[in-house]
Amino acid sequence: MQSKVSPRLAEPLAPEILELVFQPRIERELAFGIDDLCAVNEAHLVMLASTGLIEPAVARELAEALSGIRDDGDLAVPRDPGREDGYFNFEALLMDRAGTDAGGRLHVARSRNDINATLDRLAMRRVVLDLLAKTIALRQALLHRARQFADTIMPGYTHMQPAQPATFGFYLTGIAQALSRDTSRLFNAYHAADSCPLGACAFAGTSFPIDRQQVADLLGFGDIHIHAQDAVASRDYAWDAGTAVLAMAANWGRFAQDMYVWGTQEFGLVRFPDSIAGTSSIMPQKKNPVAVEYLKASSGEVIGGLTATFSILKGGHFSHAGDTGRSSLAPLWPSLRLAGNALTITRLVAEKIEPNVETMRQRAGAGFSTATDLADCLVREGGLSFREAHHVVADLVRDALGRGMSTDEIGHGDVRDAIARVLGQTIDLPNEAVLHALDPDRSIEARRSAGAASPAETRTMIMAALVEMDRDRARLGAHHAHLASARERLVAQLEKLRQVASSN
Give yes or no for residue 21 having a pLDDT over 80: yes
Q: Residue 225: which of 346, 78, 368, 114 has the closest Cα?
A: 114
Give yes or no for residue 2 having a pLDDT over 60: no
Query: CA-CA distance, 69 to 72, in Å (whole number)?
Result: 5
- 347 found inside a domain: yes
Q: What is the mean pLDDT of residues 153-174?
A: 95
pLDDT band at 7 (very low <50, low <70, confident <90, very high): low
Looking at the structure, tell me whether residues 390 and 269 fall in a common domain: no
- 242 found inside a domain: yes
Round the CA-based radius of gyration of the chain to a whole number and report it: 31
- 450 found inside a domain: no
Identity of the residue numbered 250: A
The mean pLDDT value of the chain amounts to 91
Q: Are 195 and 219 in contact (CB under 8 A)?
A: no
Looking at the structure, tell me whether residues 344 and 218 fall in a common domain: yes
* DSSP, residue by residue, 172-222: HHHHHHHHHHHHHHHHHHHHHH-EE-TT-TTTT--SS---HHHHHHHTT-S
Range with the lowest mean pLDDT among 165-169, 312-316, 449-453?
312-316
Looking at the structure, tell me whether residues 119 and 96 fall in a common domain: no
- 427: domain CATH number is 1.10.40
Q: What is the mean pLDDT of residues 173-198?
A: 98
Give yes or no for residue 283 having a pLDDT over 60: yes
Q: Are 312 and 324 in contact (CB under 8 A)?
A: yes
Q: How far is CA 365 from CA 163, 358, 371, 440, in A?
A: 11, 11, 10, 6
Q: Are 49 and 77 in contact (CB under 8 A)?
A: no
Predicted confidence (pLDDT) per residue in 227-261, tens digit: 999 999 998 899 899 999 999 999 999 999 999 99
Give yes or no for residue 327 having a pLDDT over 80: no
Report the pLDDT value the prediction gives residue 497, as an integer from 0 to 100. 84
**Rounded to 10 degrees, what is the CA torsion of 408, 411, 417, 418?**
40
- 95: domain CATH number is 1.10.275.10
Looking at the structure, tell me whether residues 214 and 344 fall in a common domain: yes
Predicted confidence (pLDDT) per residue in 343-369, tens digit: 999 999 999 999 999 999 999 988 889
Looking at the structure, tell me whether residues 49 and 164 fall in a common domain: no
- 131: domain CATH number is 1.20.200.10
Looking at the structure, tell me whether residues 62 and 128 fall in a common domain: no
Query: CA-CA distance, 71 to 398, in Å (whole number)?
Result: 77
- 350 found inside a domain: yes
Predicted confidence (pLDDT) per residue in 170-183, tens digit: 999 999 999 999 99
Range of the domain at 414: 371-438
Looking at the structure, tell me whether residues 375 and 395 fall in a common domain: yes
Number of domains in the chain: 3
Give yes or no for residue 214 having a pLDDT over 70: yes
Question: Please, is 502 exposed, middle or buried when counting C-beta atoms within 10 Å of its C-beta (0-12, 13-18, 19+)?
Answer: exposed
Give 34's DSSP letter: S
Predicted confidence (pLDDT) per residue in 25-67, tens digit: 888 888 888 999 999 999 999 999 999 999 999 999 999 999 9
Give yes or no for residue 469 having a pLDDT over 60: yes
Q: How many CA atoms lie within 13 A of 40 on its CB side?
A: 27
Coil, helix or strand at residue 225? coil
Looking at the structure, tell me whether residues 179 and 100 fall in a common domain: no
Query: CA-CA distance, 98 to 493, in Å (whole number)?
Result: 19
- 280 found inside a domain: yes
Strands 195-196 and 354-355: unpaired
How many residues belong to the chain?
Answer: 504
Q: How far apart are the first and last CA of the chain?
A: 42
Containing 71, the helix (H) or strand (E) segment is helix 56-72
- 299 found inside a domain: yes
How many whole angstroms from its chain centre is CA 191? 15
- 104 found inside a domain: yes
Looking at the structure, tell me whether residues 96 and 219 fall in a common domain: no
Q: Are 365 and 408 in contact (CB under 8 A)?
A: yes
Report the pLDDT value the prediction gives residue 164, as an integer from 0 to 100. 92
Give yes or no for residue 468 having a pLDDT over 80: yes
Looking at the structure, tell me whether residues 341 and 422 fall in a common domain: no
* DSSP, residue by residue, 277-333: -B--SS-TT--B-HHHHHHHHHHHHHHHHHHHHHHHHHTS-SS--IIIIIITTTTHH
Looking at the structure, tell me whether residues 54 and 119 fall in a common domain: no
Predicted confidence (pLDDT) per residue in 385-442, tens digit: 999 989 999 998 999 899 998 888 888 888 898 888 989 988 888 888 888 889 899 9
- 452 found inside a domain: no
Looking at the structure, tell me whether residues 278 and 153 fall in a common domain: yes
